[in-house]
Amino acid sequence: MISLGVLVYLSLISFFVYRKRSRLGAWMLVILYGLVGMLILHTWGINAPIGILILGFVIFLANVMLGSKHIFFVTIGIIGTLSLLQYFNIIGLSQPDFSLLDDTSNYSDVAGYSIIFAIFAVIAWLSGTKMETTLERAIKAEETLQKERDELAIRVEEQTKHIGEAQQKELKQLYKFAELGQLTTIILHELANYLSVLTLDIEDLKERHQNSIAIEHAKESIFYIDTIIDQVRNQIKDSDNTKKFDALTTTKDSIEQLRKKLGDSDIKLFIEDSDLKSYLIFGDPLRLSQAITILVTNAAQANKNKQSEISIEVSSTKSKILISVKDFGTGITEVVRHTLFQPQKSKKGSGLGIGLYVTKQIIDTHFKGKIWLSSATAYTQFNIEIPRIRR
């Protein structure tokens, strides 16, 4: 009958564990072992070794299954029940069978066992607390790691999205450049044809009007345009026109042409020790001229007062050629500074928004140099730095 009751009790514990009420099942198991130990002590006296060992096991079982904070409650309950059994023995309510023991028990035995149980409880509490602390730290570390992993996944997803958008934007820009290249080729072909006809007309006018200054200027302009067309054609064909050349001479030639084109602008060239310094660099002279033309033209268009000065300074160090273009025009806002050298919508009605982008590509890629905007806000100054070569 007792065995059947124990079996039902254990089945009930299994049911609670299955229903995810494990704490209730743990309490029931601790109480079961406690009752078995107390029954043995009630039957053979509190000096029965098996009963004492079972109660000690109950303390450690409570630590493992219930946690360290319940150890002392279980220990106090065991000591209290042990004292109560001894009291029942004294007043005669309990009649243990002492035939297996040498002598009867007294309160000194209760005190001794209580001390042992207390020591068990302290040891179990210390070990349980240490294990729980370690487990909590591990759980917190896992939660923190999971949180960081989730945040990293979100950042990676956002970064991937931004990269995808940037790639799409770059592809669209490249497509626009391809269209622009095709259109440029067509325009150059047509322009060259019209220039040929215009040259014949100018020659005819020259025969009729000798010593005409206007005709001479027109011939110079046509020659200059024709030269540019040939150079641009070579660039489109990707022909290699790189060589060692003097950056100062190219800068001077570019400025002279710009003075004719921007007649109202006051363009000044400042040179540092032109007779003593070497300004030799390696690359395509046309590309340097193109970069300077873009910067000076932008400076002229930014000047509200056409008489405002645009200064170009050329200097050299042991390893670098330095060219700066400075104006006192409308300036560049802080927002635009962050995307200054990227392809963007032009702020000028007739512009394409790629001038500074093209300039940076020329300086960075072709000349292996660098270009940057000065941090000053009282004026606008672009600085070019190109590696210098020795004679």
Residues 385, 333, 173, CA angle at the centre, nearest 5°?
70
What pLDDT score does 278 carry?
75
Domain identity same for 144 and 16 = yes
State the DSSP string of 91-111: HTS-----TTSSS---HHHHH
Domain identity same for 282 and 145 = no
Report the alpha-carbon distance of residue 387 to residue 317 in Å, rounded: 10
Q: What's at 17, amino acid-wise?
A: V
What pLDDT score does 164 carry?
76
- 194 in any annotated domain: no
- Last residue of some domain: 152, 173, 196? 152
Domain identity same for 379 and 268 = yes
Q: pLDDT tens-digit profile of 202-211? A: 666 666 666 6
Under 8 Å between Cβ of 67 and 15: no
Query: Is the model more confident about 321 or about 191?
Result: 321
The DSSP 8-state label assigned to residue 366 in this structure reads I
Number of domains in the chain: 2
Under 8 Å between Cβ of 72 and 8: no
Question: Which residues are bridge partners to 382 per DSSP?
Answer: 325, 373
pLDDT classification of 314: cutoffs 50, 70, 90: very high
Asked whether residue 306 carries a pLDDT value surpassing 70, the answer given is no
Say whether 136 sits in a helix, a strand or coil. helix
Q: pLDDT tens-digit profile of 3-22? A: 677 677 767 777 776 777 77
Report the alpha-carbon distance of residue 25 to residue 42 in Å, rounded: 25
- 270 in any annotated domain: yes
What pLDDT score does 382 carry?
94
Domain identity same for 147 and 252 = no
pTM, entire model:
0.47
- 119 in any annotated domain: yes
What pLDDT score does 368 carry?
92
Under 8 Å between Cβ of 282 and 242: yes
- 333 in any annotated domain: yes
pLDDT classification of 237: cutoffs 50, 70, 90: low
CATH of the domain at 325: 3.30.565.10
Q: pLDDT tens-digit profile of 22-44? A: 778 778 878 887 888 888 777 77
Q: pLDDT tens-digit profile of 342-372? A: 776 555 544 446 788 888 989 998 899 999 9
Q: pLDDT tens-digit profile of 254-301? A: 888 888 777 667 888 888 766 567 789 999 888 898 899 889 888 888
- Last residue of some domain: 127, 152, 177? 152
- 356 in any annotated domain: yes
Domain identity same for 122 and 250 = no
223-254: string of b/e by CB count within 10 Å (b at 16+)?
Answer: eeebebbebbeeeeeeeeeeeebebbebbbeb
- 43 in any annotated domain: yes
- Last residue of some domain: 99, 123, 152? 152
Mean pLDDT score across all residues of the chain: 76
Residues 304, 306, 312, CA angle at the centre, nearest 5°?
105
Asked whether residue 302 carries a pLDDT value surpassing 90, the answer given is no
Asked whether residue 215 carries a pLDDT value surpassing 60, the answer given is yes
Domain identity same for 120 and 251 = no
Query: Is the model more confident about 123 or about 324?
Result: 324
Q: Which domain holds residue 275?
A: 242-387
- 176 in any annotated domain: no
What pLDDT score does 363 carry?
93
- 21 in any annotated domain: yes
Report the alpha-carbon distance of residue 6 to residue 14 in Å, rounded: 12
Which structure tokens are listed for 66?
Answer: 């219930």
Query: Is the model more confident about 50 or about 124?
Result: 50
